[in-house]
Structure 1
Amino acid sequence: MGSGVPRGGRRLRYRGASAAAAVLATAGTLTLAACGGGNNNQGGGATFTPRPTAPATESFTGTPPSPLSSAASSAIASARASASAAAASASARADEFEASVAARTEQANQQAHQRLAKVRGRGNAASEVSLSGIPRSQVGDLQAAHVNIHNSSDRTANFAVQIDFRDARGKVVETRYVGAENVRAGQTVHPYAISHQPPEPRLTAVVAKAERY
C-alpha cells in the first residue's frame, strides 16, 4: 500500500512539470515571433509600418519659381534670343550688300579698263568728266577724288574713265579706272577714284581718258 502512493505522486509531479514546460515554450515562441524581423511575413510574425517623417528642409534655400514667373522668364529669354538673331541677320545682310556693291563697282572698273584699252586719244567723253577733291578724313587719309560724270547725250549710256595720279613733276605714279553704267540722259554721277599710294607725297589726279558707249 505505502509503496503505491509515492509512485503516483511522482507521476503527478512529472505531468505538472511537463505542462509548465509546454506553457513556457509556447510563451517563448510567441515572444520570438513578435520580436522577429518586421519585414518578413513568411515566419508568421507581426508586420510593422514605418511612420512617415517630414523631409529635411534645412539644406534647401529659396522657394521654387511659380509657373507664371517661369513662363515670363522663358518669354523674356526667347525675345532676347530673337532680337539677337535679328540683329545678327541684319548685320550679315549689310555685309552682303556692301560686298555686292563693291563687287559690282570692281567689275565696272575692270570693264572700263578693257574698254579704254581700245580707245585712241582722250576719248569721246573727256569734256563730260571733271574731278573734285575729297577731304582725307572721309576716305581714311587716302588720296582720292570724285569723278563727276555728266551724260550730256539724249539717251542712257555707260562711261569708262581713266584717272592718272601724278607727282609734282608730272610723272604718272598710278593709274585707276572708273566705270559708270546706265547713266540716264542729263544725269551726273560721282564715283570715287582712290589712289593706293601712301598719303605722302601728295599726288594730283587728272582725267586721262573718258569714253561714252
Structure 2
Amino acid sequence: MPRTKGVLALTAAICAVALTGCSDDNTPSSVSSAASKAASAAESLGREATAAASSLASEASSAFASATAEVGRELDQIKGGVDVEGDVKLGTPGTDGDRSTVEVTVTNSADSTKSFAVQVDFKDSGGNRLDTVLVTVSDVPAGKTGKATARSNRTLSGAVKTEVARAVRY
C-alpha cells in the first residue's frame, strides 16, 4: 500500500506538469509553480509511505526478535541436552499452502532412544533471517533416523533457504 501511494503521487506530479504545459496560460512561472506544487505533494506522500513502511518493518522486526528469543528460551530449558547440529539434515525448502516448509531428518547416534529439538532458520537469498521455528522429533530409536517438517510462522516471499541454527538431543 505505501508503494502504491508513492506511485500515485509521482503519477499525479507528472500529470500536473503535463497539463499545465498544455494550458492557455503557458508561462514559465505557471509551469514551474505547478511542477513545484506537484513535487511537494509527491514528496509529502513519499514521506508518509516511507514512515508507514518503516513502522511495518519495525513491527515485523520486533515480532521476529520475539519469536527468535522464544525459540532460544525453549532450547535453553532442555536439561541434559547435547548439541548435535551435525546429526541434522534439511531437505529442499518448499511450501505448504502459504507457509514455507522444509523436511528435517535427525540421526540418533546415541545408544538409547532420544528426542531432538531443532531450530530452523528460514533465510532470503542474501542470508538475512526471515523466520525461525523450533521443531521437535520425538523418540528416535538408537542408531535410527526420525523426520519432521518445519513450517514458517508466516508467509515468506522470494527464494527461501533454510539452515539449522541449533540442534539439541535429549
Normalising by structure 2, we get a TM-score of 0.51
Q: In 1, are the aligned partners of 2:133 and 2:153 still within 8 Å (CA)?
A: no
The residue aligned with 2:92 is 133
Query: Of Structure 1 and Structure 2, which has the larger fraction of its residues in strand?
Result: 2
Q: Which has the higher contact order (CA 8 A, sep 6+)?
A: 2
**One of 135, 142, 163 as aligned partner of 1:206:** 163
Q: What amino acid is aligned across from residue 204 of structure 1 in structure 2? A: K
Identity %: 32
Q: In 1, are the aligned partners of 2:98 and 2:155 still within 8 Å (CA)?
A: no
Q: Distance in 2 between matches of 1:168 and 1:151?
A: 31
Q: Give the root-mean-square deviation of aligned CA atoms.
A: 2.5
Structure of greater Rg: 1
C-alpha distance after superposition, 1:31-52 (max 9, x if no partner): xxxxxxxxxxxxxxxxxxxxxx
**One of 183, 191, 196 as aligned partner of 2:140:** 183
Q: Distance in 2 between matches of 1:195 and 1:206?
A: 13
Question: How do 1:3-22 and structure 2 match up within 5 A?
Answer: none
Q: Distance in 2 between matches of 1:166 and 1:134?
A: 11
Moved over 4 A (4+): 112-115
Q: In 1, are the aligned partners of 2:101 and 2:149 still within 8 Å (CA)?
A: yes
**One of 71, 75, 89 as aligned partner of 1:116:** 75
C-alpha distance after superposition, 1:126-154 (max 9, x if no partner): 11001002553xx2253110000110111
1:170 Cα deviation after fit: 1.0
The residue aligned with 1:152 is 109
Q: Distance in 2 between matches of 1:157 and 1:125?
A: 12
Q: Distance in 2 between matches of 1:156 and 1:175?
A: 27
C-alpha distance after superposition, 1:10-66 (max 9, x if no partner): xxxxxxxxxxxxxxxxxxxxxxxxxxxxxxxxxxxxxxxxxxxxxxxxxxxxxxxxx
Where does structure 1 lack aligned partners over 5 or more consecutive residues?
1-111
Matched residues, number: 98
Where does structure 2 lack aligned partners over 5 or more consecutive residues?
1-70
The residue aligned with 1:166 is 123
